[in-house]
Amino acid sequence: MSVRDLLFVTGMFLSILPDFHAQGADPKLWSLQPVQTDFSQKGIDQFIAEKRDAAGLMPVAKAEPTAMARRLYFNLVGLPPTPEQLAKFEKDGFEKTVDELLASPQFGEKWARHWLDLARYAETNGRDRNVVFAHAWRYRDWVIDSLNADLPYDEFIRQQVAGDLSPDAGDAEIVATGFLTLGPKSFQERDREKFLMDMVDEQIDVLSRSVLGLTVACSRCHDHKFDPIPQADYYALAGILLSSETLHGPGPLYFQSHQHDKPVVAIGPEKAKLDAEVKKWRGVIYEKTIEAMRLRSAGYKIRRTVTGALRERGLKKPEDDPELLKQHLESEGMYKKAETLMAEREELLAAPPNKPGYAMALREAEKPEDCNLREGGMPKEHGPAIPRGRLTIPGLPMLDEIGEDESGRRQLADWLVSEKNPLTARVIVNRVWHHLFGAGLVRSVDNFGVTGDKATHPELLDFLATKFVTEDGWSLKKLVKRVVTSDTWQLASSGAYSEKASAIDPGNSLYWRANLRRLDVEAFRDSVLQISGELDPNRPENGSVFSNAFLGNEYGKPGTNRVNHDEEIAGFQHRTVYLPIVRNEIPELLKQFDFADPNAPTGARNARTIPSQALYLMNDEFVETQSTAAANRLLKSGPESDSEKLDLAASWAFAGKFEEEVKRKTSAYLDERRSELVSVGKTPEEAAVEAWADVFQILFSGIRFRYLE
């Protein structure tokens, strides 16, 4: 290729680049225009090829089968293929494997995490009182189960917004409404009105960003600065949410009461009976506690009077005066009674009755009301009442009429997933594309507004949205299959023509190759555990380590308000999606590797490369322990020779083989390390484990393992 060719191609490319330099407001926001439904192209590859060809770019070849298997496994189930699964993949072929993986329960565990990022899922409140949300895990499991059951996306959203209002609502539909209850709240806020306005603000933010890709919460104080979202629309939504009750807990097993508490809902078999028993039990404990506190305080008062009188009169002990003795005995009696009551309380606490399940949920408020607009977003500055659900964003449909005695959540849910709403389908297909390719067709996955990016392939986005709704019935599994079976998804990450193409399109926005992507922290941790043989594929017993924190206390040991969450979860062997997430106490591993901050919805995680990640991989106990476990597993079950062992380790770690030179160096390293260790007195067995643990530490920290080609 000559320089002239390259310049020529560059010029052509520039002429078809999407106009991503455009500044300022868009009079007709693209994402609010109707979804195009008529296409001459037949599939993903045609849309991609048209733009790629126009730039004079050739795609690289298809990925090698092992690379393909690894990519497929990680993208669909978040785990690496075992050597047996690799062999099966080669026998069964691509499509059959896709179907099997989509049907496996691990699919939901992998894909639920993407939605949980958007739902800012956590098991504590964060903010000012880090109250444990002991029942949040039910929502997490509902998301996993729903994805595994391939609940159509419109229904998936509808249930989360208004599941409790569907005619045949059961426990699952109630649990689903936990979505809007999980946010961080300012429980210390004294002003109830401000508390509610802030809570609703957070709900509007999560709902609008996750489902619509719009930042509606920007309109709390004024009309949106960029997007056509009037301030009144914000309050039209706020009215709906304020006309619903957010049952965020912590009760009914919580023993202190705060003005903002809203008891969670009982679910499961015999819920009414069991809940009544729990409430009775709690009531007895409560009464005993109150009485004990009263007695202690009264006893203390008397005790103080007695000691005061003794000092005043120069006496030594109460026995020196009959009246004082009487008072003294009375006070001692009170203390003793209190002690008995507290002991009884402890006994009761230790033997709770069978409890029902509980769920954080939404329900209709007793008196639905329109919300007044607030001038400048100030809770106390009441403007005119805005009719619930009267949304006027141009391009979006109207909500169905809302009756006087209903909140409007049902209508809101229908509106969100209406086929006339151009945003919802576009936003979700783009999210799926983002997770499968590492970048969305619209790069700003949570912002389809004016300040967001435009689609690099707008027609393809509409094509996918149309197929998703009309042909695939909002099935996420079918959407995933449609994308991964395209040639575009199956390209190698490197190959011929790369040099030329790299110079023209280094960001790969024309899809001439596959992106190199770092594994999500969940996939990293789960893979390490799978390779070390320590992964427990089951769900944690009772849902979560917090499910028995039935006192609903603030996170932390009583009195200290702080525990080391990293220590608490050391030894946790379930998949990472089940790790209890404590707001503001994110485990070190997750924090280092760009877990989504659960204080706000996140559609696209960061991908930082910073030295503290390297420090984690070089020094952290988790990596050390798991490397040793993997070494033991390899030495016990593996083949005899170092060479075969290395082949197996490479297959575990990256579904591939060591390059010859690397393998030679690794063998030499093993030899040297073993004899070194034996020379300082280790047995050959110990030396072998330690040397192989080094190899696994190297593999686990290596790019080939942590990145997906």
Partner 1 sequence: MQTRRHALQSTVHGFGYLALAGLLRKTAPAASAAQSSPFAPKRPHFPARAKRVIFLCMKGGPSHMDMFDHKPKLAEVDGKALGDNEKIKMLGSLWDFKQHGQDGMWFSELLPNLATRADDLCMLHGMNSENPEHAQALDFLHTGSFQFVRPSMGSWVLYGLGTENQDLPGFVSVNPPHVLGGAKYYGSAFLPAAYQGTPVGQYQKNLKDAKLSNISHPRLSREHQRKRLDLAQVLNRETADRLPENRDEIEGVIESFELAFRMQKALPEVMDIAGENPKTLEMYGIGASGSDSFGRQCLLARRMAERGVRFIQVNDGDWDHHGGLAANMPKACARIDKPIAGLIEDLKQRGLFDDTLIVWGGEFGRTPDDGTRDGRGHNADGFTMFLAGGGVKRGFKYGATDEYGRKAVEGKIHIHDLHATMLHLLGLDHENLTYNWAGRDFRLTDVHGHVVKDILA
Closest to partner 1 by CB, 372 vs 701, is 701
Tell which residue, 230, 87, 48, 114, has the closest CA to residue 602: 114
Closest to partner 1 by CB, 107 vs 696, is 696
Count the neighbouring beta carbons within 10 Å of the beta carbon of residue 350: 7
Give me the phi and psi of 247, to 5 degrees please: -90, 80
User: CA 443, 446, 451, 455 torsion: positive or negative?
Assistant: positive
The pattern of x and - marking residues 567 through 606 that bind partner 1 according to CB under 8 A reads: ---------------------x---x-x--x-xx-----x
The pattern of x and - marking residues 416 through 455 that bind partner 1 according to CB under 8 A reads: -----------------------------------x-x--
Kindly state the smallest distance separating residue 497's Cβ from partner 1, in Å. 11
Kindly state the smallest distance separating residue 378's Cβ from partner 1, in Å. 7
Residue selected from 666, 674, 687, 692 as contacting partner 1 according to rule CB under 8 A: 666
Kindly state the smallest distance separating residue 610's Cβ from partner 1, in Å. 5
Q: Is 21 helix (H, G, I), strand (E, B) or coil?
A: coil
Closest to partner 1 by CB, 418 vs 613, is 613
Per the DSSP assignment, residues forming a β-bridge with 523 are: none
639 touching partner 1, by CB under 8 A: no
The answer to whether residues 218 and 338 touch, using CB atoms and an 8 Å cutoff, is no
CA distance 157 to 178: 12
Closest to partner 1 by CB, 18 vs 352, is 18
271 touching partner 1, by CB under 8 A: no
Tell which residue, 444, 430, 424, 506, has the closest CA to residue 208: 424
CA distance 547 to 125: 15
Question: Site residues for partner 1, window 680-709 (CB under 8 A)?
Answer: 694, 697-699, 701-704, 707, 709
Question: Site residues for partner 1, window 6-65 (CB under 8 A)?
Answer: 6-7, 10, 13-14, 17, 20, 23
Closest to partner 1 by CB, 98 vs 596, is 596
The answer to whether residues 62 and 263 touch, using CB atoms and an 8 Å cutoff, is no
- The count of residues interacting with partner 1 (CB under 8 A) is 72
The answer to whether residues 181 and 134 touch, using CB atoms and an 8 Å cutoff, is no
Question: Site residues for partner 1, window 508-537 (CB under 8 A)?
Answer: 508-509, 513, 516
Kindly state the smallest distance separating residue 619's Cβ from partner 1, in Å. 4
Question: Site residues for partner 1, window 274-333 (CB under 8 A)?
Answer: none
Per the DSSP assignment, residues forming a β-bridge with 244 are: 364
Kindly state the smallest distance separating residue 342's Cβ from partner 1, in Å. 35
Closest to partner 1 by CB, 456 vs 547, is 456
* CA–CA distances in Å: residue 203 to residues 197, 206, 233: 10, 5, 14
In degrees, rounded to 5, the angle at the alpha carbon of residue 460 between the alpha carbons of residues 96 and 151 is 50
621 touching partner 1, by CB under 8 A: yes
Tell which residue, 677, 629, 668, has the closest CA to residue 652: 629
Question: Site residues for partner 1, window 199-218 (CB under 8 A)?
Answer: 218
Q: Is 311 helix (H, G, I), strand (E, B) or coil?
A: helix
Question: Site residues for partner 1, window 164-193 (CB under 8 A)?
Answer: none
Question: Site residues for partner 1, window 449-508 (CB under 8 A)?
Answer: 451, 453, 493-494, 498-499, 501-508
Closest to partner 1 by CB, 148 vs 456, is 456
The answer to whether residues 130 and 556 touch, using CB atoms and an 8 Å cutoff, is yes
In degrees, rounded to 5, the angle at the alpha carbon of residue 116 between the alpha carbons of residues 111 and 121 is 155
Count the neighbouring beta carbons within 10 Å of the beta carbon of residue 703: 10
Residue selected from 369, 644, 659, 686 as contacting partner 1 according to rule CB under 8 A: 659
Kindly state the smallest distance separating residue 246's Cβ from partner 1, in Å. 23
The answer to whether residues 9 and 502 touch, using CB atoms and an 8 Å cutoff, is no
Element (H, E) at 383: strand 382-386
In degrees, rounded to 5, the angle at the alpha carbon of residue 154 between the alpha carbons of residues 148 and 158 is 100
Tell which residue, 259, 249, 245, has the closest CA to residue 365: 245
CA distance 344 to 348: 6
CA distance 227 to 510: 28
Closest to partner 1 by CB, 223 vs 291, is 223
Kindly state the smallest distance separating residue 584's Cβ from partner 1, in Å. 9
Question: Site residues for partner 1, window 375-404 (CB under 8 A)?
Answer: 375-376, 378, 381
DSSP state of 62: B
Kindly state the smallest distance separating residue 599's Cβ from partner 1, in Å. 7
Kindly state the smallest distance separating residue 614's Cβ from partner 1, in Å. 4
Kindly state the smallest distance separating residue 558's Cβ from partner 1, in Å. 22
Name residue 427's amino acid. Answer: V
Per the DSSP assignment, residues forming a β-bridge with 246 are: 362
Kindly state the smallest distance separating residue 538's Cβ from partner 1, in Å. 30
Residue selected from 94, 255, 335, 616 as contacting partner 1 according to rule CB under 8 A: 616
Residue selected from 40, 560, 609, 679 as contacting partner 1 according to rule CB under 8 A: 609
Kindly state the smallest distance separating residue 118's Cβ from partner 1, in Å. 17
The stretch among 298-306, 385-393, 424-432, 610-618 that binds partner 1 (CB under 8 A) is 610-618
